[in-house]
A and B are shown apart, each in its own frame.
Chain A
């Protein structure tokens, strides 16, 4: 099975992605197709509230599947300007559309993690 990561965004080794949002200087954050497949059915997502700040490389939330509970790591630092609250009632969106409808946060970026990978680099890691 192939989990080709989209080239319009960058990745953390811990399987989070950061993609440019519509507004300038903002990114959307989620987890990869590979990550959702490893986790299995996602049953719960815990995310920060709007207005909170997250730190690149630090934990920003928790994702729980029927197999495991994992921390979510931030690819960027900045203020959370939007939260995908649909996930609270429909966590399956993370499984069904991890790069799209399953997004988690939108953040006003202040700084990026030094460890962001290109799609190509990330694909090598999960190969």
Chain B
């Protein structure tokens, strides 16, 4: 497939910023009409209440874009046309799990009933609390955990909470420990979480098959081990077959086993971290279910734990109310409560409720069979694509993602050239265990036709000359970016455009 991305330019410059398109000077006056004129200000002027600020800190004129609605709509449509998204084509960015978010979840989150202020009395927000309670329960059952908090506002925040809970558990046992073990192929957040949690990070090498090296693990474990953080399947898409043995080894020295939920989408409805011996885990609701990837906006990274750790979870959680607050007619009612040894609050109320609601809607819509079907398709799609592409895939068999090698080609050049064929490239050059890594995760949302389009893009690029790759992309809105100049002389403000 050939792709020609829209390129809106005028005199060689891209679609201008709104402020470059139009700036209309508008006069600001306070409602008293301080400028001396009578009220009834001219159209477009801004009125404001009288400011207590000294005159030198206030303005009486402001430059604002004065565009019409269609001009504004066209501006944003043009920008979106010059942007690649999963609504444009496949987006197999490995490890990131760039799933398409079905719009019904947005519809649910946009319902007026969903817009509930969390400070309303508990009896007037029973619906919200019930959904939170049920989501805690769904997540606990999916992960094989005993208790869940919905509060952490992102996956990495969930990791931090998980390690803080593990730390609080050890402290409560009078057991000070100083180390967290992380496989070298782990997500970068694991190292950061362990360090931010106050631990020394012990890096664990992989064995030749790309899995945890049990000998190295034995050597790394000690009375100082607070936890081992593990993703299963791991970053190479490989299932850690020795997980029960690993759990036994970690527990034998009194450590906890932490599950990074980034790859849970491979196991949904088929295997549960809790059953493998994991004590604490976080869920990436944007990867496992379907909520927007954060990108700085509100996200959610719930944390599940085994019974022994439940009393340390952040406050509040939601439970069925008993005693006096119970409904006289026997219907269950719900209330917030603080776990007795809670590590405290990591976000407001139940966390980012509208994000959680989307995850709830997705789980409820798919049900047990649908979730199991999603993980089956995620694994099938990755294996089908790996089979179809001509690049070498050194490790396997794998689950929901695989890591191919670009071999003699530069993985970054391959990625840039793939853009010309209307697909988003895979994650490149990571994990470092595979040379010139092309880490690929098509996810369950792609059809066979889309996977074939992806395979064709991979294979076309595999056969192309270095010179072609080095100047790619050619057909995108922006061509080859000069990363060196961008990094050496960054322009961090749009004002710099005028220089």
Contact surface of A with B, Cβ cutoff 8 Å? 41, 43-44, 64, 66, 91-92
Query: What residues of B have a CB within 8 angstroms of the CB of A64 in the complex?
Result: 487
Chain B binding surface SS class: helix
**Residues 474-495 of B at the A interface (beta carbon under 8 Å):** 483-484, 487-488
Top 4 nearest A-B pairs (CB, nearest first) are A43-B487, A41-B484, A43-B488, A66-B483
> Given the complex of chains A and B, what is the CA–CA distance between A92 and B483 in angstroms?
13
> Chain A residues near B483 (CB, 8 Å)?
41, 66
Q: Which residues of A contact B487 (CB under 8 A)?
A: 41, 43-44, 64, 66
Chain A nearest CB from B462 CB (Å) reads 23
Closest to A43 in B: B487
Contacts of B484 in A (CB 8 A): 41, 43, 66
Q: Which of B450-499 contact A (CB under 8 A)?
A: 483-484, 487-488
What is the CA–CA distance of A43 and B182 in the complex, to the nearest angstrom? 30
Q: Which residues of B contact A44 (CB under 8 A)?
A: 487-488
Chain B residues, Cβ within 8 Å of A41: 483-484, 487-488
Q: How many contacting A-B pairs (Cβ < 8 A)? A: 15
15 pairs, A vs B, C-beta closer than 8 Å: A41-B483, A41-B484, A41-B487, A41-B488, A43-B484, A43-B487, A43-B488, A44-B487, A44-B488, A64-B487, A66-B483, A66-B484, A66-B487, A91-B488, A92-B488
Bound together, the chains give a CA A66 to CA B410 distance in angstroms of 14
Q: How far is the CA of A54 from the CA of B433 in the complex (A)?
A: 34
Q: Which residues from B are CB-within-8-Å of A66?
A: 483-484, 487
CB distance from A70 to the nearest CB of B (A): 14
- B488: chain A residues within 8 A (beta carbon): 41, 43-44, 91-92
CB distance from A38 to the nearest CB of B (A): 14
Which residue of B has the minimal Cβ distance to A64? Answer: B487
Q: Closest CB of chain B to A87's CB: distance in Å?
A: 11
A85 CB → nearest B CB, Å: 16
Chain B residue nearest to A41 (CB atoms) is B484
Give bound CA distance, A43 to B484, whole Å: 7
B279-315 interface code vs A (CB 8 A; 1 in, 0 out):
0000000000000000000000000000000000000
Specify which chain B residues have a CB less than 8 angstroms from the CB of A43 in the assembled complex.
484, 487-488
Q: Which residues from chain B contact A92 at a C-beta distance below 8 Å?
A: 488
| Complex-state Cα separation, A92 to B487, whole angstroms | 11
For residue A68, give the distance in angstroms from its CB to the closest CB of chain B. Answer: 10
Report the Cα distance A43→B487, complex, angstroms: 6
Compute how far the CA of A41 lies from the CA of B483 in the bound complex, rounded to whole angstroms.
9
Q: How far is the CA of A41 from the CA of B484 in the complex (A)?
A: 6
B111-133: CB near A (< 8 Å → 1, else 0) gives 00000000000000000000000
What is the bound-complex CA distance between A92 and B484, given in angstroms? 10
Residues of B within 8 A of A91 (CB): 488
A91–B484 Cα distance when bound, in Å, is 11
Bound CA–CA A92/B482 (angstroms): 14
CB closest residue in chain B, given A40: B484
Closest to B490 in A: A43
In the assembly, what is the distance between CA of A66 and CA of B488, in Å?
9
What's the Cα separation between A92 and B485 when bound, in Å? 10
Shortest distance between the CB of B372 and any CB in chain A (Å): 41
A66 to B412, CA, bound (A): 12
Distance between A94 CB and nearest chain B CB, rounded to angstroms: 11
Interface residues of B in 224-276 (CB under 8 A from A): none
User: How far, in whole Å, are A44 and B487 apart by their CA atoms in the complex?
Assistant: 8
Q: Which of B195-249 contact A (CB under 8 A)?
A: none
Q: How far is the CB of B57 from chain A (nearest CB, A)?
A: 35
CB distance from A62 to the nearest CB of B (A): 14
A9 to B484: give the CA distance in the assembly, Å.
Answer: 30
Most buried by B among A43, A44, A91, A92: A43
Interface centre among A44, A66, A92 (most CB of B within 10 A): A66
- Would you list which residues of chain B between 95 and 115 have a CB under 8 Å from chain A? none
CB A66 to nearest CB in B, in angstroms, measures 5
Nearest A-chain residue to B487, judged by Cβ: A43
Shortest Cβ gap from A69 to chain B (Å): 11
Q: How far is the CB of A92 from chain B (nearest CB, A)?
A: 7
- Contacts A44-B488, A64-B487 supplied; 5 other A-B pairs, CB < 8 Å: A41-B487, A43-B487, A43-B488, A66-B483, A66-B484
B457 to chain A, nearest CB (A): 25
Nearest A residue to B484, CB-CB: A41
* A79 CA / B302 CA spacing, docked (Å): 50
Q: Which residue of B lies closest to A66 (CB)?
A: B483
Q: In the complex the two chains form, what is the Cα distance from A64 to B488 in whole Å?
A: 10
Q: How far is the CA of A91 from the CA of B487 in the complex (A)?
A: 11
Q: When chains A and B are docked, how far (Å) is the Cα of A64 from the Cα of B490?
A: 14
What is the CA–CA distance of A63 and B227 in the complex, to the nearest angstrom? 32
Shortest C-beta distance, A7 to chain B (Å), equals 32
Minimum CB–CB distance for B486 against chain A, Å: 9
- Closest chain-B Cβ to A120's Cβ sits at a distance in Å of 30
- Nearest Cβ in chain A — how far from B201, in angstroms? 16
Which residue from chain B places its CB closest to the CB of A95 in the assembled complex? B484
